[in-house]
A = this chain, B = another copy of it.
């Protein structure tokens, strides 16, 4: 029953692979995040293949996190600009020392939430105490590099909530509170990214993330001031530690 329109078999490569590549190119060139792909039936007709074959092709785009299927709705484009090929050649080294003190970060979330679990414990607060929760995104050479979740006792830092918008958080604290911070603890681990982090970091969901949890205390009093969780793109970051 094989009709195989013109030259599918030409390359000797699987049809679904070729379709996947065409779709990927189209998505990168013509789609914005959030847009819907044509339905599987439409794609099947357009490429002159069975619906199962386009399904297989679409599956190849799900792995790297390019699209996502939503049952009953359709296939939605996640992030056409994911850069697969940063590679270790262009890996940026981050000195643990300077981490969090950089200037090129942008705030994309700022809320007051109740402290729970590890956050409360590390900031030495009662469970449920209000903390200021700030999330910043940092880019390096135009590429997303890391996301930092900052937690600070809300009572003490109301001014941060109202006025900190970008730049270095530690710089802001120093300026407005005459605070000098000292890092007391860093915990480093390798994990897979949360969905939202993968999107913001423009990375695949099955690619690794380097996560650093760190606690900063007031140099003068020793009191905990900030707890931060940083997620670096695994393919872009490398931490350097020197004793």
Contact = CB atoms under 8 A, between A and B. Distances in A.
Contacts of A93: 187
A86 interface: no
A237 interface: yes
Interface stretch (A10-18, A38-46, A136-144, A188-196): A188-196
Central interface residue in A188, A234, A240, by most chain B CB within 10 Å: A188
Given A96-B241, A241-B241, A208 B187 contact: no
For this chain, the copies found in one complex come to: 2
A199 interface: no
A207 B192 contact: yes
A184 B241 contact: no
A183 B242 CA distance: 8
Given A187-B241, A189-B237, 5 more contacts: A96-B241, A183-B243, A185-B241, A188-B241, A208-B209
